Chain A
Amino acid sequence: MTKYSKVVLLVIDALRFDFTIPVSGSGEYYHNQFPILHEMAQTDHGLLLKFMADPPTTTLQRLKGLTTGSLPTFIDAGSNFNSDAIDEDNWLLQLHRQNKSIAFMGDDTWTALFTEYINPQLCYPYESLNVWDLHTVDNGVIEHLFPLLAQENATQWDFLIGHFLGVDHAGHRYGPNHYAMREKLQQMNDVISDAISQIDDDTLLIVFGDHGMDSTGNHGGDSKDELEAALFMYSKQQKFNKKSNSSYDISNQGNNYRMVNQIDLVSTISLLLGLPIPHNNLGTPIDELFTTENGELTQAFVKTLNQLQTFKSSNPSLLDNLDVKYNALISHIELENVEDFEKAYKGYQVTFLEECKSLWAKFDMGLISTGIGIMFLSLLFIITYSRSIPSIRVLTMSFEFIGSVIAMSLVGIVLSFSVFIVLRPDGFNVKKCLATGFALGIIIGFWAPIMDRFSLDWLVHLVIDFFVYNFNTFSFLGIVFSILHCLVFASNSFVVWEDKMILYFITTFGICCLIHCLLDRRISTTQRVLGSLHALTFLILSRLASNINLCREEQRPYCTPTFTTNWWSIILLHLMSYLLPSTIKYFYKLSNSYHSAGPLWIGIGLKFLMTFNASYWTIEYIENNQESFGINKIVWLNRILFESGLSKSMKLAIARLVLFVSLILANFSWSRGPLCVKLDFKQQSPSYVEETTVIKHHIAKNESPEDEIVVIEEIEEEDEEDEEQEQEQEENSIKRKEVEVDALAPSEVEQLVKEVEEEEENSPEESSVPVPSTVNAILGYENVYGASYFLLVLNFAAGILLVTKPIGAISLCMLLIQILSLLELFDILQLKRNLISPIVLCLLGYQHFFSTGHQATIPSIQWELGFMTTETITFPFTHLNILLNTFGSFIIVCLVVPLITLWNIPPTNRPITALAYVITNITTMMTYHTLTSISSLIFAAYFRRHLMVWKIFAPRFMMSGLLLIVVDIVLILFTLWFGTGRTMLQVNNIFG
């Protein structure tokens, strides 16, 4: 039964259904631009149907479904980037076996999957994932399509596949409502009408979209807009067996239009070409393609039924009640009551599909509980490590861990392997067994040295002691936030509104800081005013940043997305490239450390990089809005700027330059150890010289700059009044900083004393001769670690700012200012060793994750930013860009953690203690992320049969898992090893 000898299959990527039907009264760019399909469908030779995709709506998964007829698994979505050859039975394979020639042009996903079946002489693949490029693929397809359609070449092929990407790319790049979309749809309209006129009589033309797109032009999820694509068929000779007109109801944007499943196309194509139906097919032939008159449709159904039955026999896990239905069906065939049979068949097919869908998501409870168990053990370890080991011991023990971890993980592997050989546990294969053994080995390896030194009782006591003795309002707040954040995952509504929950936590913390600043009588008046201002800045910026959001589908209609690129965001970006450096400068001046490396990094480096960033996005914006600027009407300008590729190469150059400078060059020069200090020699007016040398350590901040620094003064005689005044000043300033005074290094003071004494020796010691006295001061001594370390944060921030869309970049600028305010607050409120400090930083990371246009959903990943530095997918760069874009805010926040301890402290002679505090904060942040990951893991597992599991819980769990890995790596490699290690080493080399 071969109904057509040839098929032309044209895929228009992301052709949403409502693009193809007339929508009266709509002025949108994407409506009424592609009328040919619906016009032709009014004749008996054309047919237009709604084509329902199965999630995930990404091209690779759709192509698998469209060729094999089976359902995709959820986790496949991530493999959209790396497609491997398909090994399931599919209709291309069947065509190939019958020695049919398959011609192909367009998206190279096809060649990745089916290269062995395609006629190599007629194969024209094009790079598929470069979203910026709207035309290359389409022009290539058109260039090769029409020659092959012409009469003289038509014998070369039996099946022709063309895959257009322009519509999809226009959607990704501009969103559907953009004039580029209109142009693209009009172009497609012309192409299809040409193709219709050129095909010969025996050929069936199939045009469809593999998925739709949502209102932002992205896809991947399972909203209605993403699932609904269009399917169009046309044949010159054959008539379709259409249903009554009411099935094709275009009112209300085709809401009630007849729809078929995407996988239904598989059996249809196979039957029309006389091929065997692919083994895994679950779809059913589309009614309209088969006439009822000579039992063609019944035949088609029977064939599909037989294929389903074979499939079932090879999958014994399917339920038995299908057999009962099947037997009932067989009896209908014998009755030859065609209508009854068709009805019963469809019922059977639907149940079959449902059954398969429900079985498709399999949960391996054994593995899930192993995972939860391992996570719990790691949480337990990290709490012990951060909270109960005396901080001094941590450092010495850290090296012991390395050896014991390696040893124990090897032991774990060996043990688990023997367990596997001997016991053969159910549901565990070698890999899983070894991985579990390895993980347990690592944890035991960590525990071994701890248990060796300390008893369990003592550790528990220490943890309890920690929470009892360090218990105050702020640490209580930190615990409340952690618990509430974990409980967020218990309800889908809270996960959906997580961005608001985070804002709730952050503003709560902000207002508590404000109240504390106002009421704490330990804080001096100037500090109080300053602290309140910082708290207010923090609060207002948090609130402002929270206004930037990209609503997820479930948040509508209560949420209006504001994450769009528009003219004022570009202007703000330019302003920010000036404002941010000067704000940071102001903060540096607070601790009087805007010297030497400071101006270079902040005043020059950051400003330049941010200007480059802004110009990148300006070019991008102009490119996207040629029409509104009227540039596309000025031919010569258009030619110079866009057609010659000038704008494109400029963007590439800027992006590469900025990323290279910020991530490599700046970090390299930072590793040489820039300091923000300056030696200041002040000549004072001649006066009586004293032999008195007073070395004073002013701890005051925020008075006059001279008061903030360590001053080695040769003081002239002071009146008693003066002295009193000074003493008072000192008292004010010192009393808040007892701890720091305690931790102050006598050694460097000694060194300074020596220097001064040497100077004295050189100077004539006659007391009566007036000599100009000098004030030697190290400016920026007070914040020597912090000021230097923050430059590292700026390095990464500059790179992350580039790969963030303009509005998101503004949010990240706010993040930097928030962080600086927060650091000052931590200092003023003495929260440096409090539990809350790293937790608030975690929350800030989350807040700016959301305000840079992300959500815990797969479609919200901004794939298009992968192509900033390269035009094609190149392994580290594309992935790095997407990583920086997605987790940028978390990376910045992770880098800031040591500053909680290091901000505003002078060089210490006990760097080990400082380092131990830094490690405590770092592990606290890890604990927080581990805690939220466990919580999301447990609730995702608990809700595995929940309606929303694939939409809400599973993506959130995937996000926390990835986030935990990224955070841990950044914290250990960059924050601790590179950042803190370098700073401490450098500072202590210089200051003693």
Chain B
Amino acid sequence: MGKTKIRKQVSFDSGLKEVVAEEIKKKKKVGSSSKTAPILTNRILLIPIHYALNLAGMFWFGLMENTQKTLLKGALNLAVMQIAYDYLIVRLLKTSAKDSTNTPLLVIGSIIVCLLLSFPLSVLLIILGAPVTSHLYLTYLLALHLSLIVINPILVVYQFQLDKFYQSLQFSNDSQVFKSVILKSSILLSAFLAVLGTWLGVIPIPLDWDRPWQAWPITLVTGGYTGAFLGGLISCMF
């Protein structure tokens, strides 16, 4: 207590250096740990053909005439196909932990979680501009499809280790994370393009062409499915 030392300095100067040092340290740490998505062995097998089939099927069975019913049936179909797809993902996972995982639990759990998450997702859709006063059920069905397409494969591929998922997406340079993480993983790319497709799917709605397919949310579902399918396809090329 008694010792006196004279410090007369502007402290941010020294603080800055330390910050930079800290930053570099962190970068190094992160680079080594979980900067990439789990690796899947066979990308060709992972092309989600069932998305294209399901979309075509829904159009075939009257998506435009009876939107609600067809979307619901389509979602059920998709859930079943997604279970198979999830098994495929787990088989192709290149991790040591593969044998220890309880695959049926993982798959069924991910489906159930997706069903639950579809509710907050539809709230998000409404915040982003989906109609509030009407078409609520259709918005929910859209959310259901989206959560099955986007969230479900991610849950399976990360095996519910959400912190790992979160860390792999964290970035200090967003285009870099896109290149090094999203483009490298067919599941993430497919999810990303599904979201992008849904986003773009809104555009034709206001046109005054008066076509039945312009009804809410057909264009969005189409955009989402197409995006997801293309994502799987494109990731084969990288």
Q: Nearest-CB distance from B137 to chain A (Å)?
A: 18
Interface stretch (choices B98-106, B123-131, B221-229)? B123-131
Residues of the A chain whose Cβ atoms lie less than 8 Å from the Cβ of B19: 731, 734-735, 738
Would you call B206 and A496 a contact (CB within 8 A)? yes
A interface, how many residues as a size bin?
Answer: 35 or more
Instruction: Please judge, given known A-B contacts A519-B170, A694-B9, whether A504 and B129 are in contact too, CB under 8 Å.
Output: yes
- In the complex, the answer to whether B11 meets A697 with C-beta atoms within 8 Å is yes
B206 touches A500 (CB 8 A): yes
For A806-817 the 0/1 string (1 means CB < 8 A from B) is: 000000000000
Proximity string of chain A (509-548) to chain B, C-beta cutoff 8 Å, 1 when within and 0 when not = 0010000100111100000000000000001100100110
Which residues in chain B, 13-69, are within 8 Å of chain A measured between CB atoms? 15-16, 18-20, 22-23, 26, 30
Within the complex, which residue of B128, B174, B199 is in contact with A516, where a contact is CB–CB below 8 Å?
A: B174
Q: Which residue of A lies closest to B133 (CB)?
A: A560
B10 touches A (CB below 8 Å): yes
Q: Which one of A56-64, A68-76, A448-456, A487-495 is at the interface?
A: A487-495
B175 CB contacts on chain A under 8 angstroms: 472-473
Least Cβ–Cβ distance between B211 and chain A, in angstroms = 12
Within 8 A of B (CB), among A446-482: 472-473
A692 in contact (CB, < 8 A): yes
Indicate whether B207 reaches chain A with its CB closer than 8 angstroms. yes
B-facing residues in A843-869 (Cβ within 8 Å)? none
| Complex Cα–Cα for A494 and B208 (A) | 9
Q: Which B residues touch A496, using CB under 8 A? A: 206, 208
The contact size tier of chain B is 35 or more
Contact B23 A507 (CB under 8 A): no
Which of B1, B10, B26, B199 gathers the greatest number of chain A CB atoms within 10 Å? Answer: B10
Q: CA separation between A730 and B11, bound complex, in Å? A: 9
**With A473-B175, A521-B30, A738-B16 as contacts: A547 and B132 at CB distance below 8 Å:** yes
In the assembly, what is the distance between CA of A455 and CA of B100, in Å? 68
Q: Does B8 contact A (CB under 8 A)?
A: yes
Q: A695 and B11: CB pair below 8 A?
A: yes
In the complex, are the beta carbons of B170 and A520 less than 8 A apart?
yes
Q: Contacts A493-B206, A520-B171: A744 and B12 contacting too (C-beta < 8 A)? A: yes
A694 and B170 within 8 A (CB): no
> In the complex, which of the residues A492, A501, A696, A734 has the most CB atoms of chain B within 10 Å of its own CB atom?
A734
Partner of B15, one of A539, A727, A767: A727
Give chain B nearest CB distance to A933 CB in angstroms: 22
Asked if A231 is at the interface of the complex by the 8 Å CB criterion, the answer is no
Contact A691 B6, beta carbon cutoff 8 Å? yes
- Also in contact, A543 and B12, with CB within 8 A (given A473-B174, A694-B7, A727-B18): no
Whether A93 sits at the interface, judged by CB under 8 Å, is no
**Chain A 758-779 near chain B by CB (<8 Å), digits 1 or 0:** 0000000001000000000000
Let me know if B4 and A543 touch, CB within 8 A: no
**B22→A543 contact, CB < 8 A:** no
Contacting residues, chain A, for B20 (C-beta < 8 A): 735, 738
For the complex, what is the distance from the CA of A692 to the CA of B20, rounded to whole Å? 27
In the bound complex, CA of A70 to CA of B154 (Å):
70
Q: How far does the Cβ of A509 sit from chain B's closest Cβ, in whole Å?
A: 11
Q: Which residues of B73-97 have CB atoms within 8 Å of chain A's CB atoms?
A: none
> Which chain A positions have C-beta within 8 A of B206?
493-494, 496-497, 500-501
| Cβ of B202 under 8 Å from chain A | yes
Residues of A within 8 A of B30 (CB): 521
Q: Of A491, A507, A521, which is in contact with the most chain B CB atoms at under 10 Å from its CB?
A: A521
A520 partner residues in chain B, CB cutoff 8 A: 170-172, 174
- Cα distance, A501 to B129, chains bound together (Å): 10
* Inter-chain contact A694/B174, CB cutoff 8 Å: no
Tell me if B23 and A735 are in contact (CB < 8 A): yes
Asked if B5 is at the interface of the complex by the 8 Å CB criterion, the answer is yes
A496 to B208, CA, bound (A): 10
Q: Compute how far the CA of A727 lies from the CA of B208 in the bound complex, rounded to whole angstroms.
A: 62
- In the bound complex, CA of A507 to CA of B18 (Å): 38
Query: How far apart sit A472 and B20, CA to CA, in the bound complex (Å)?
Result: 22
A694-B171 contact, Cβ under 8 Å, with A717-B1, A731-B22, A738-B19: no
Q: Does A688 contact B (CB under 8 A)?
A: yes
State the CA gap A521–B208 with chains docked (Å): 44
Cα distance A497–B175 in the bound complex, in angstroms: 33
Instruction: Tell me whether A539 and B170 are in contact in the complex, defined as CB-CB below 8 angstroms, given that A521-B30, A699-B12 are known contacts.
Output: no
Question: Given contacts A547-B132, A694-B9, A731-B18, is CB(A493)–CB(B208) below 8 Å?
Answer: yes
B115 proximal to A (CB < 8 A)? no
The answer for the CA separation of A738 and B12 in the assembled complex, in Å, is 10
- Check if B8 sits within 8 Å of A519, measured CB to CB: no
B72 at the interface (CB under 8 A from A): no
| A residues in contact with B128, CB < 8 Å | 507-508, 511, 539, 543
Partner of A734, one of B3, B9, B16, B166: B16
Beta-carbon contact of B16 and A741 below 8 Å: yes
Instruction: Bits for B179-216, please: 1 = Cβ < 8 Å to A, else 0.
Output: 00000000000000000000100100011100000000
The residue on B at minimum CB distance from A699 is B12
Write the nearest CB–CB distance from B205 to chain A, whole angstroms.
8
Of the listed residues B5, B8, B206, the one surrounded by the most CB atoms of chain A closer than 10 A to its CB is: B206
For residue A133, CB closer than 8 A to chain B, the reply is no
Chain B residues near A131: list those with CB within 8 A.
none
Residue of B nearest to A546 (CB): B129
Beyond A493-B207, A692-B6, A735-B19, is A697–B129 a contact (Cβ under 8 Å)?
Answer: no
Contacts of B4 in A (CB 8 A): 690-692, 717, 767
A697/B171 in contact, CB under 8 A: no
A535 to B20, CA, bound (A): 28
- Taking a contact as CB atoms under 8 Å apart, the answer to whether A507 and B127 are in contact is yes
Interface string of A710-725 (1 = CB under 8 A from B): 0000000100000000
A730 and B126 in contact, given A473-B174, A492-B208, A692-B8 (Cβ under 8 angstroms): no
CA distance A697 to B15 in the complex (A): 10
- Complex Cα distance, B3 from A691, in Å, reads 11
Is B117 interfacial (CB-CB < 8 Å)?
no
Q: Which residue of B lies closest to A726 (CB)?
A: B11
Taking CB atoms, residues of chain A closer than 8 Å to B10 are: 695, 697, 746, 749
Cα of A540 to Cα of B124 in the assembled complex, Å: 10
Residues of B within 8 A of A497 (CB): 206
Write out the residue numbers on chain B whose beta carbons fall within 8 Å of the beta carbon of A251. none
Rounded to whole angstroms, the CA-CA distance of A264 and B26 in the bound complex is 84
Q: Does B169 contact A (CB under 8 A)?
A: yes
Contact A688 B172 (CB under 8 A): no
Is A102's CB within 8 Å of the partner chain B? no
What residue of chain B has the Cβ atom nearest to residue A746's Cβ?
B10
Q: How far is the CA of A547 from the CA of B208 in the complex (A)?
A: 22
User: Residue A696 contacts which of B1, B11, B23 (CB distance < 8 angstroms)?
Assistant: B11
User: Taking each of A497, A731, A744, which has the highest tally of chain B beta carbons within 10 Å of its own beta carbon?
Assistant: A731
A-side contacts of B7, CB under 8 Å: 692, 694
Contact A730 B129 (CB under 8 A): no
Write out the residue numbers on chain A whose beta carbons fall within 8 Å of the beta carbon of B6: 691-692
**Selected A-B contacts with CB under 8 Å, 26 pairs:** A472-B174, A472-B175, A473-B175, A504-B129, A507-B127, A511-B128, A516-B174, A519-B170, A520-B171, A521-B170, A522-B172, A539-B128, A540-B127, A691-B6, A692-B8, A694-B8, A694-B11, A695-B10, A696-B11, A697-B10, A717-B1, A730-B12, A741-B16, A744-B12, A749-B10, A767-B4
13 other contacts beyond A500-B129, A692-B6, A717-B1, with CB at 8 A cut-off?
A507-B127, A508-B128, A508-B199, A519-B166, A543-B128, A694-B8, A694-B9, A697-B10, A727-B18, A731-B15, A734-B12, A749-B10, A767-B4
Chain A residues packing against B (C-beta within 8 Å): 472-473, 491-494, 496-497, 500-501, 503-504, 507-508, 511, 516, 519-522, 539-540, 543, 546-547, 688, 690-697, 699, 717, 727, 730-731, 734-735, 738, 741, 744, 746, 749, 767
- Ranked 9 nearest A-B pairs via Cβ: A735-B19, A497-B206, A521-B170, A493-B208, A730-B15, A507-B128, A734-B15, A697-B12, A493-B207
Using CB atoms and an 8 Å cutoff, list the residues of chain B in contact with chain A: 1, 3-12, 15-16, 18-20, 22-23, 26, 30, 126-129, 132, 166, 169-172, 174-175, 177, 199, 202, 206-208
